[in-house]
Chains A and B, each alone.
Chain A
Amino acid sequence: MLWLTYRQHRMQLTITAVLLVLVGILLLVNGNTAAGSPDPAKHFADLYTYLSWLQVVPIAIGVFWGAPLVAAEFERGTTKLAWTQSISRFRWLGVKLGFLAVLATLGGLVFGTMMQRWVEVFPIDRGDTAFTSRFDNPVLFTMTGVAPGAWWLFGFVLGTAAGAVIRKTLPAIAVTIAVTVGLMIGVSNVRDLYAEPQLVALGTEPVGRVIEMVQDAAGEVTALKVLPADWYWRFQWTEAAILSGVSLLLAVAATFAIRRRS
């Protein structure tokens, strides 16, 4: 069954691996150049213009890995082949979903780690801090640390579940794109709610995001509510936990969708 999963999806796996290597090489070259440059911010901006597009990778994973996984088999009638062998359809789905979910997560984690190493080259107090900060910049936040692993996993399982429920590849792709984009926008709007901000006196605030200015009766700002930048990992794990939980529910939905109907 593992062999079958690999054989049926080796095209997607190979392309993803090649793209990861290419991105890795780009990051390595750019990071090394920037490290020895008097103006690293310029090198950051040069690559970031293109790199920021990679936040759509979870959607691509959903479209190319997930949506066809079950839907294409329904369309081609091969479910009738696969489900009349000596293993149950649930084991069939379990192995496919499990194996590829692990690979998608690993791919996302590799990507996140590479991005992480690259971003570390650039001091966050140089130039536009919100832009180069992996904590404040929502695009960098989803592309560094463990968040990409969770997003790739989510994209994949969502695509699979959509394909299992709808049983047609194209509509499943449409749903995958719409839901992932919607969730990306939604999550970036609620990310500040992952933790209660720290209340700090004016002038003692840590590096981070100012959520609210606390004023006294006279309208004078006395304190700030801040999300410190060193809560980055806490926020990363929170996001990863939320997305993994949703992925698990979607996997259950996919399993439910392929059961025998009576």
Chain B
Amino acid sequence: MTDEPAIEATGLGKRYRRKWALRDCSLSVPKGRVVALVGPNGAGKTTFLHLAVGLLDATLGSVSIRGTAAFLAQDKPLYAGFSIAEMLKFGRRLNPGWDDEFALERIDSLGLPLKHNVGKLSGGQRAQVALTLALAKRPDLLVLDEPLANLDPLARHEVMRGLMEAVAETGMTVLLSSHVVSDLENTCDWLIVLNGGRVQVSGDIDELVAGHRILSGPVEEADALAKRVAIVDEARAGRQATVFARTRPVPLGPQWTDRPSTLEELVLAYLRRPESASLPRPTLASA
């Protein structure tokens, strides 16, 4: 409880002309977490990230971060015509906390020549150079917008591995968005689900997964079950009901089976039911 959260949003809202891209967004993430921000396209993920790093101003509410932030935009912008060495010089000139030794070592370990023009890099190499630029700032919070989009499977793996090495080394907080849940399963430990501009889920992934179960049984007993557990999503096929519930294991009738949820099932269940939400209690920071 003594630690300030790494990211804290209170009543955050952002409107573009008439349309709200983000609304009533309140959440808090403890530091040192690797946060997955997931949601369908247009859910407001990029807007949230831009608000967090100060590229946008909120229409309502506020978002604050602890310490310094580095940002890697979705299109991995680098200056056309610059060499890798010149991109590093850019980082060094514009950031007092720049770690040049780290940047040079990382570029070297990637096998990239410093003289190389950034315009001629492959997608994966470009992402790596942009990531190096962000990491060498030695930020307390690293924000990445769809870092794995447009990368081939090998490059996705390499970028993710590079990111995780840096996290292990520095203990920084990472906030990354994606619309592919499977990319995040093994790397992230905090989940935020954003849907239609609203936060549906924010919490520790292990706790979330442990706190949701998939129950199947006869349709006629489903309503009775609904009185005992919080149902997120429900599907009925013939006489069979499948219920996605926010619950610990509970005693069930003989005709019922239950199994734990996977992360992907959990995300899908919430996305299918925008009215459901699993939001943190105020004591979240102690998690």
Co-complex (A, B): yes
Chain A residues proximal to chain B, CB less than 8 Å: 1, 3-4, 7-8, 76-78, 80-87, 260-262
CB-defined contacts of B77 to chain A, threshold 8 Å: 76-78, 80-81
Chain B interface helix/strand/loop/mixed: loop
Q: Are B55 and A86 in contact (CB under 8 A)?
A: no
Mark each residue of chain B from 55 to 89: 1 if its CB lies under 8 Å from any CB of chain A, else 0: 11111000000001111010101111010001001
Q: Are B73 and A260 in contact (CB under 8 A)?
A: no
B contact residues, total (Cβ < 8 Å): 29
Task: Give which listed residue, A1, A7, A77, A85, contacts B82 with CB less than 8 A.
Answer: A7
Which candidate, B32-40, B93-101, B235-243, B248-256, is the interface stretch facing chain A? B93-101
15 contacts between A and B (CB under 8 A): A3-B89, A4-B94, A8-B79, A76-B77, A76-B80, A78-B79, A81-B79, A84-B70, A84-B71, A85-B94, A86-B94, A86-B96, A262-B56, A262-B58, A262-B59
Tell me, yes or no, whether B284 is within 8 Å of chain A by CB: no
In chain B, positions 85-129 with a C-beta closer than 8 Å to chain A are 86, 89-91, 93-97
Given contacts A78-B78, A83-B54, 9 further A-B contacts (CB under 8 A): A4-B90, A4-B94, A78-B77, A81-B79, A84-B54, A84-B55, A84-B71, A85-B95, A86-B137
Give Cα A34 to B59, complex, Å. 68
Give Cα A262 to B55, complex, Å. 10
| Contact A85 B91, CB 8 Å, known A8-B79, A76-B80, A80-B55 | yes
B109 to chain A, nearest CB (A): 23
Give Cα A84 to B70, complex, Å. 7
Q: Are B59 and A4 in contact (CB under 8 A)?
A: no
B161 to chain A, nearest CB (A): 23
CB-defined contacts of B68 to chain A, threshold 8 Å: 86
Tell me, yes or no, whether B210 is within 8 Å of chain A by CB: no
Tell me, yes or no, whether B279 is within 8 Å of chain A by CB: no
Chain A interface helix/strand/loop/mixed: loop
CB-defined contacts of A1 to chain B, threshold 8 Å: 93-94
Q: Which 3 A-B pairs have the closest CB atoms?
A: A262-B57, A85-B94, A84-B71
CB-defined contacts of B53 to chain A, threshold 8 Å: 84
Q: Are B82 and A83 in contact (CB under 8 A)?
A: no
B120 to chain A, nearest CB (A): 16
Give Cα A8 to B82, complex, Å. 9
Give Cα A4 to B133, complex, Å. 15
In chain B, positions 123-156 with a C-beta closer than 8 Å to chain A are 133, 137
Q: Are A3 and B93 in contact (CB under 8 A)?
A: yes
| Contact A77 B73, CB 8 Å, known A8-B79, A260-B55 | yes
A8 to chain B, nearest CB (A): 7
B55 to chain A, nearest CB (A): 6
| Contact A77 B75, CB 8 Å, known A1-B94, A3-B93 | yes
Interface centre among B54, B93, B137 (most CB of A within 10 A): B93
Give Cα A84 to B89, complex, Å. 16
CB-defined contacts of A8 to chain B, threshold 8 Å: 79
A223 to chain B, nearest CB (A): 63
| Contact A260 B82, CB 8 Å, known A77-B75, A85-B91, A86-B94 | no
CB-defined contacts of A7 to chain B, threshold 8 Å: 82, 86
